[in-house]
Homo-oligomer: A and B are copies of this chain.
Amino acid sequence: MRAGERAHRLLHEDIVEWRLAPGTVLSEVEQAARLGVSRTPVREAFSRLLSEGLVEPQPGRGLAVSPVSAESVRAMFELRMALDAQAAGLAAQRGDAGLFAELARRLEAMAEDPGQDDDDRHAYYALADRLDAALDAAVASSYLVQAQRSLRVHLSRVRRLSKGDERRLRGAAAEHAQIARAVAAGDPELARACTRVHLSNSMAAILAAISTTREEHP
């Protein structure tokens, strides 16, 4: 694999998985040494991270991993609300009803009996990802899907904060199921409304997790 691509993927993962904490300063030579490549591919990786918004220029000190705040989560969800609602609405008009009915059925089953261990959790996340992928495929609108994709990078970074909240998991499954049902029914307005409700709850859960974390590490 190309060194530049590899460097980008490693740094990307390190940031999203919180191995590189927000505020950490990155220098080209330092990362080049750590990743075992020269500065050139690291420069390429930095440039991509910058355009993704995962790092910010730090005047005179190179780049720093961008911070995560309650304010930034709110801003993130104000965009996500617009994107996902639009996507759900378009999918309801264009999607394959059978596919979404099937997804709804499986999500409902999961909402009623979420299970407790890691395997069950992973099964739920996999199913939620399949719903996202099905929505992407149904809207077939490159710019919209692209915007969602680049936002999901940031979402996956903050979502780690609320993972493991069992009660939220059950609710999220039920909300996903209802979105899938609305799309299967071909009801754009309902699909949009369900999406807004789901995102509102998700955001509340993440904001709660952030304030808890802040209290633990003030």
What is the interface of chain A, defined by CB distance below 8 A to chain B? Answer: 43-44, 47-48, 51-53, 72, 74-76, 78-79, 81-83, 85-86, 90, 139, 141-144, 146-147, 151, 154
Chain B nearest CB from A48 CB (Å) reads: 7
Q: Let me know if A53 and B146 touch, CB within 8 A.
A: yes
**A44 to chain B: which residues have CB within 8 Å?**
43, 47
A78 touches B143 (CB 8 A): yes
Which listed residue, B48, B86, B143, touches A51 by the CB 8 Å rule? B48
Whole-angstrom CA separation of A168 from B151 in the bound complex: 34
Asked if B144 and A79 make an inter-chain contact with CB atoms under 8 angstroms apart, the answer reads: yes
What are 7 pairs between A and B in contact, CB < 8 Å? A74-B141, A75-B141, A75-B144, A79-B141, A79-B143, A82-B82, A83-B147
In the bound assembly, the distance between CA atoms of A147 and B53 in angstroms comes to 11
Question: CA separation between A139 and B82, bound complex, in Å?
Answer: 13
In the complex formed, the residue of B with least CB distance to A83 is B82
Query: Is B147's CB under 8 angstroms from A72's CB?
Result: no
- Point out the residues of chain B lying under 8 angstroms from A53, CB to CB: 146
Residues of chain B with a CB closer than 8 A to A147's CB: 79, 83, 147, 151
Most chain-B CB neighbours within 10 Å: which of A47, A51, A78, A139?
A78
Residues on B with beta carbons closer than 8 Å to the beta carbon of A86:
78-79, 81-82
Additional A-B contact list (14), CB under 8 Å, known A74-B141, A82-B83? A47-B47, A47-B48, A53-B146, A78-B86, A78-B90, A78-B139, A78-B141, A79-B86, A79-B141, A82-B86, A83-B147, A143-B151, A143-B154, A147-B147
Q: With the chains together, A79 CA to B84 CA distance in Å?
A: 10
Please name the residue on chain B nearest to A73 by beta carbon. B143
Q: Which chain B residue shows the least CB distance to A82?
A: B86
